[in-house]
Amino acid sequence: MSFQIFDLSRSITKKQTVAITGLMLISFVLVHLAGNLFIFDGPKPFNEYAEHLERFGIFKKIAEWALFLVFLIHIERVTSLVVQNIRAAGGLKRYAVDNSRGPRSLATRLMPFTGTFLFLYLICHLYDFAWANDQGIRSMINGKSLGLYGLVVNSFKNPIHCWLYVVAMYCLCLHLTHGVESFFQTFGIQDSRFTLLVRKLSRVFALMIMIAYSSIPLYVLYILKI
């Protein structure tokens, strides 16, 4: 009898790595959302929350690097899977007639594209808010610096910026629609009786995330008076 060795390169293990890192990223998305929603309370609670996070010091740095690592693993594993898939199928153009019968959805087809777009947007997003000077000119509202709150409000008062954010959240919604559902299948916590329920619930979850996140720039652009 041959004995198995724990092998990270096996196809199922690779997918499960993607699934588990995906779950970690989803939990980050939820925590980040909870913090973001302080913006509806005005400048003080929002900035206080941001300062509160800063107080964690070294632990915040460790958490950030861990998150970065999770991102890298997620992206690297997915890239390797996609390359293998294209090779296995013998290229991108496979059949003369593209006429699939199954439930393959738009979200599923677009997974690599929504993922890539989100990654690129994330870099812009970090550049905009996380790496920007929150006491600088971009944080000024009516001649007074309002810290991170000012930075966010000034950015989203620009319609292009605001709608780019909404588009990114739509991509996140599509990505999560397939991602959450896939998590259950890939980890085998799935049964044919629950397939449809899991699909519906992941759609609802993804839609809620999109609505909650998008409400922030839309509120700033169309409702908030400064």
Partner 1 sequence: MSKKINLTLKVWRQKNCKSPGAFEVYEAKGIDTDMSFLEMLDVVNERLTKENIDPISFDHDCREGICGTCGSVVNGQAHGPVKGTTLCQLHMRNFTDGQLIVIEPFRAKAFPVINDLAVDRSSFDRIIQSGGFISIKTGQAPDAHSLPVLKGRSDSAMDAAQCIGCGACVAACPNAAAMLFVSAKVYHLNILPQGEPELKTRTINMVKQMDKEGFGNCSNEYECEAACPKEISVSHIARLNQQHRKSNFT
In the bound complex, what is the minimum distance in angstroms from residue 177's beta carbon to partner 1?
A: 12
What is the DSSP code string of the chain? Answer: -PPP---TTSHHHHHHHHHHHHHHHHHHHHHHHHHHGGGGG-HHHHHHHHHHHHTTTHHHHHHHHHHHHHHHHHHHHHHHHHHHHHHHHTSS---SS----S---HHHHTHHHHHHHHHHHHHHHIIIIISS-TTSGGGEETTEE-HHHHHHHHHHTSHHHHHHHHHHHHHHHHHHHHHHHHHHHHTT---TTTHHHHHHHHHHHHHHHHHHHHHHHHHHHHT---
Q: Cβ contacts of residue 134 below 8 Å, gap of 6+?
A: 50, 145, 147, 148, 150, 151
Min dist. Cβ of residue 67 to partner 1 (A): 24
Least Å distance, CB 128 to partner 1, is 32
Stretch that binds partner 1, among 21-29, 85-93, 154-162, 200-208 (CB under 8 A): 85-93
Residue numbers 11-30 binding partner 1 by CB under 8 A: 11-16
Identified binder of partner 1 from the candidate list 36, 135, 145, 190, rule CB under 8 A: 190
Structure tokens at 167: 């588009």
Nearer to partner 1, 117 or 213 (CB): 117
Nearer to partner 1, 20 or 218 (CB): 20
Q: Which member of 36, 116, 145, 185 binds partner 1 (CB under 8 A)? A: 185
Q: Is residue 184 near partner 1 by the rule CB under 8 A?
A: yes
- How many residues bind partner 1, per CB under 8 A? 46
CB of 94 to partner 1, least distance (A): 5
Verify binding: residue 108, partner 1, rule CB under 8 A. Answer: yes
Position 161 contacts partner 1 (CB under 8 A): no
Among 59, 65, 119, 187, indicate the residue that binds partner 1 (CB under 8 A). Answer: 187
Residues that bind partner 1 (CB under 8 A): 1-4, 6-7, 10-16, 81, 84-85, 87-90, 94-104, 108, 111, 178, 181-182, 184-192, 195
